[in-house]
């Protein structure tokens, strides 16, 4: 006789979705979106209080679903920076729009495993269809693209592809296939994930050559070309140039066409890291700002930045389908024979979430027109912010055409870090502090669809108050 299965009750609300627990979660979500419009941005609790509160909780006995949902909501509400706020000007990861959140929920519940095409043909095809759309917008119609956890994984994939292109036996011999130090070229203003990637791929951090800029945040292509030549002379093996399209600190765009030309002459892989600014492929009015992107062998775009979907959604686009084919391929007995394009053999991940639903939902709900409106708002807000900053005696340091502004007031001896800290303490707005071209500057981007002109006025007033408070 088989024993009775243990009953799931009284925890059944945790195992079976019910409308009232869903209602509770929905109510918390609505509270969060209301808070994003008008609430505090900085955490209400200092870190010590958050740690203490969480430290006192225990995991032995469950609270039941309602208790756990409300508790998690409250902890994040009190303890986290509200980076999705209309007045958080410090992040490239802005507010998640509702369609992506809903898509995520649908996927979390059904949990399709998309590593094998045959096990989730619908989800896989939906994801591929979004990828194809992105490829077409990039002018890389014959290529392939897939979703990644973020820009870092996408850039890492580009490095692996470039290493394989340079030395086909890299896959067998690893870095020994080169018989010397492989080197990749990025600007000094590029995203420092490159260093992490170099360590992780085994080429070592020395592989990353930081090329000087021309003083405006953009790669100096003359310096790039001479660095490659000098490195070759001493036995290093250049294999990749990665131009940045929209630097993280100041939104600057490297000269893409010139970089492409040098990559061609030097016969190295040409990557464009457009993690943030690449979103403008969806902006009919401004996509010319990305001119030259179509010359890349590979491009990184993060959907979880300017495309306003929940985090964990990057993309890598590759010019040729075959680039990715061998990099990740393996055979195992526990995976059925697939169609040769299964994502567990063509991408870095194995078990695989249907990440693309987030962008799918945005495009199916709003279409490109929705994104157009969003971008139009962001550029208008940035123009207003620029004007207001100058009007109030702040000095703008970057000449980006994108909605990210770096500025300071160091001529008057104002310490940018102190301003940023003071604005955070005041709590009503938040912005970053970065180094740009060797100067410590403040950084504000207008990339949330919730932001209004009033929010810019609040930021300006918070900045002016902070300047007074610290001087």
Binding site for ligand PLP (CB under 6 A): 92, 150-152, 191, 193, 244, 248, 273, 275-276, 302, 314
Q: Closer to ligand PLP at the Cβ: 228 or 307? A: 307
Look-up of token digits 């039941």: 64
What are the b/e assignments for 270-305, b being 16+ CB within 10 Å? bbbbbbbbbbbbbbeebbebbebbbbbbbbbbbbbb
Q: Closer to ligand PLP at the Cβ: 151 or 238? A: 151
**Least Å from the CB of residue 304 to ligand PLP:** 6
Q: Closer to ligand PLP at the Cβ: 193 or 420? A: 193
| Spatial distance between the Cα atoms of 410 and 415, rounded to a whole number of angstroms | 6
Report the residue number whose CB is nearest to ligand PLP. 151
**Least Å from the CB of residue 66 to ligand PLP:** 34
Cα-atom radius of gyration of the chain, to the nearest Å? 24
What are the b/e assignments for 327-341, b being 16+ CB within 10 Å? bbeeeeeeeeebeee
DSSP letters spanning 368-418: HHHHHHHHHHHHHHHHHHHHHHHHTT-EE----SSSEEEEE-GGGT--HHH
| Spatial distance between the Cα atoms of 268 and 256, rounded to a whole number of angstroms | 15
**Least Å from the CB of residue 185 to ligand PLP:** 15
DSSP class of 136: H
Q: What sign does the dihedral 107-108-109-115 (CA atoms) show? A: positive
Strand (E) or helix (H) holding 314: strand 314-318
**Least Å from the CB of residue 313 to ligand PLP:** 8
Q: Closer to ligand PLP at the Cβ: 426 or 447? A: 447
Q: Closer to ligand PLP at the Cβ: 186 or 237? A: 186
**Least Å from the CB of residue 443 to ligand PLP:** 12
**Least Å from the CB of residue 243 to ligand PLP:** 10
Q: Closer to ligand PLP at the Cβ: 309 or 429? A: 309
* Helix, strand or coil, per DSSP, at residue 336: coil
Half-sphere exposure of 49 (CA within 13 A, CB side): 9
Q: Closer to ligand PLP at the Cβ: 305 or 428? A: 305
What are the b/e assignments for 9-36, b being 16+ CB within 10 Å? eeeeebeeeeeebeebbeebeeebeebb
**Least Å from the CB of residue 402 to ligand PLP:** 11
Q: Closer to ligand PLP at the Cβ: 144 or 155? A: 155
**Least Å from the CB of residue 184 to ligand PLP:** 14
**Least Å from the CB of residue 244 to ligand PLP:** 5
Q: What sign does the dihedral 339-345-350-356 (CA atoms) show? A: negative
Q: Closer to ligand PLP at the Cβ: 244 or 416? A: 244
């Amino acid at each position: 006789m088989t024993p009775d299965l243990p009953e799931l009750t009284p925890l059944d609300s945790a195992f079976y979705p019910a409308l009232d627990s869903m209602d509770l979660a929905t109510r918390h979500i609505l509270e969060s979106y209301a808070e994003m419009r008008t609430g505090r941005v900085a955490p209400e609790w200092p870190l010590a209080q958050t740690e203490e509160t969480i430290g006192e909780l225990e995991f032995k006995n469950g609270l039941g679903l309602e208790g756990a949902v409300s508790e998690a909501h409250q902890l994040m509400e009190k303890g986290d920076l509200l980076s999705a706020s209309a007045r958080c000007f410090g992040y490239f990861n802005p507010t998640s729009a509702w369609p992506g959140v809903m898509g995520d929920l649908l996927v979390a519940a059904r949990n399709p495993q998309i590593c094998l095409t045959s096990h989730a043909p619908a989800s896989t095809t939906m994801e591929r269809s979004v990828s194809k759309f992105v490829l077409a917008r990039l002018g890389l119609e014959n290529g392939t693209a897939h979703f990644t956890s973020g820009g870092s994984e996408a850039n890492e994939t580009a490095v692996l592809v470039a290493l394989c292109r340079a030395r086909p036996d890299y896959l067998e011999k690893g870095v020994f296939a080169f018989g010397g130090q492989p080197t990749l070229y990025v600007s000094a203003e590029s995203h420092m994930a490159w260093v992490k990637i170099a360590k992780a791929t085994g080429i070592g951090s020395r592989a990353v050559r930081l090329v000087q800029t021309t003083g405006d945040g953009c790669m100096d292509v003359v310096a790039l070309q001479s660095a490659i030549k000098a490195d070759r002379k001493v036995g290093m093996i250049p294999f990749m140039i990665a131009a940045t399209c929209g630097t993280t600190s100041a939104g600057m765009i490297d000269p893409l066409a010139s970089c492409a030309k040098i990559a061609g002459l030097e016969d190295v892989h040409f990557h464009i890291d457009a993690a943030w600014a690449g979103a403008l492929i969806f902006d009919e009015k401004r996509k010319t700002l990305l001119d030259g992107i179509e010359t890349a062998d590979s491009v990184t775009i993060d959907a979880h930045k300017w495309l306003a979907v929940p985090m964990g959604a990057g993309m890598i686009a590759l010019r040729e389908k075959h680039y990715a084919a061998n990099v990740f391929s393996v055979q195992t007995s526990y995976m059925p024979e697939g169609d040769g394009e299964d994502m567990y053999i063509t991408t870095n991940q194995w078990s695989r979430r249907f990440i693309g639903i987030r962008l799918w939902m945005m495009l199916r709900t709003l279409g490109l027109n929705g994104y157009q409106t969003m971008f139009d708002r962001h550029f208008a807000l940035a123009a207003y912010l620029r004007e207001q900053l100058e009007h109030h005696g702040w000095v703008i340091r970057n000449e980006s055409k994108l909605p990210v502004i770096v500025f300071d007031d160091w001529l008057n001896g104002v310490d940018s870090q102190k301003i940023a800290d003071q604005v955070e303490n005041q709590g009503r707005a938040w912005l970053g502090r970065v180094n740009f071209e060797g100067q410590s500057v403040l950084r504000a981007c207008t990339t949330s669809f919730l932001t209004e002109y009033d929010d810019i006025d609040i930021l300006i007033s918070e900045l002016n108050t902070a300047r007074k408070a610290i001087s």
